[in-house]
Amino acid sequence: MERLEAALEKAREKRREAGVDEKAILGPESRVPVLKSEWSDLTEIKITSRVARNNRITAISGNPLAGPYDMLRSRALHIMHEHGWKRLAVTSPTVGCGKTTIAANLALSFARQQDLKIILFDFDLRRPSLHKVFAHRTDHSLSDVIDGKVSVADHFVRYGENLMLGLNAKAAKNPSELLQSQRTKEFLAAIEASYKPDIMMFDMPPMLVSDDNVGFLVNVDCGLLVGAADGTTVKQLDLCEKELADLTNVLGVVLNKCRYSDSELGYDYEAEPY
């Protein structure tokens, strides 16, 4: 725990150095509001085996299909602890590379470590889909919470004891402006101060489709770039990795949707991810 605290302080320090610490973000007059923040008060959702099967959720429990996500989790945790990074964005060059699937599974894999508290946000505000992956219908969206129309406690749900989910009912009206707004910074600072997560994960839109990542990534410590073996070109990956490195720290690049043969897994096994 002491190591974690030290890592968290390092992350804050790094954001301070980058000029994005809470005070700098919020301005001298602003205060981070204290939210009602009992994890146990949040509505609990379950994932049925049918939903898990249909939506490629494999990391709920330790099993061979969770293996690649667990490996990604361990590597990510190692690097994040080492650098004191706490906020992780998941993005890709183009649509459909598997960002949302990977973000959901990685969050579930993190959550199997009971000493970690994770908040996963659906910040693909143009085409939100995390609610579909978790098969949870919600009445509101993160834009409503950021605009103060609904409270975090009423909107966020939890899976198990230590994974909190911020989902969307529909697309936001002004995603780009919202993602780079002061009130989004304040919202993140407030939720971080109140719920005290160890890791905050953000499922983002693709980088080559809009400027949403450009405006938002100043709020995170690192980014994971997901490419699809069946669709992303090396040029796209290269371009986006450079752009990501300009915007935040690159945690790594994941090549998803690979097909390879492995005698143990069976010929033509479809990897998830790698």
- The SS3 of residue 141 is coil
Question: Out of 32, 47, 97, 244, which residue is the one contacting ligand ATP (CB under 6 A)?
Answer: 97
Which partner from the list Mg ion, ligand ATP, none does 96 bind, CB cut-off 5 to 8 Å by kind? ligand ATP
Q: What residue spans of 55-123 are helical by DSSP H?
A: 67-83, 99-111
Q: What type of residue is 42?
A: L
Name the burial class of residue 235, with classes exposed (0-12), middle (13-18) and buried (19+) by CB atoms within 10 angstroms of its CB.
exposed
Shortest Å, Cβ 99 to Mg ion: 5
Q: Residues 17-56: x/- map of binding to ligand ATP (CB under 6 A)?
A: ---------------------------------------x
Question: Out of 113, 129, 194, 249, which residue is the one contacting ligand ATP (CB under 6 A)?
Answer: 129
Q: Which is nearer to ligand ATP, 68 or 84 (CB)?
A: 68
Q: Which is nearer to Mg ion, 86 or 99 (CB)?
A: 99
**In this chain, which stretch among 90-98, 148-156, 193-201, 214-222 interacts with ligand ATP, using CB under 6 A?**
90-98
Q: How far apart are CA 127 and CA 132, in angstroms?
A: 11
Is position 98 an interface residue for ligand ATP (rule: CB under 6 A)? yes
Dump strand ranges (E) for 123-175: 157-159, 163-166
Q: Which is nearer to ligand ATP, 16 or 75 (CB)?
A: 75
Question: Residues with Cβ < 8 Å from 254, sequence gap 6 or more?
Answer: 72, 102, 224, 225, 226, 227, 273, 274
Nearest in space to 124 (alpha carbons), one of 158, 89, 160, 152? 89
Question: Out of 22, 70, 122, 124, which residue is the one contacting ligand ATP (CB under 6 A)?
Answer: 124
**In this chain, which stretch among 171-179, 180-188, 210-218, 265-273 interacts with ligand ATP, using CB under 6 A?**
265-273
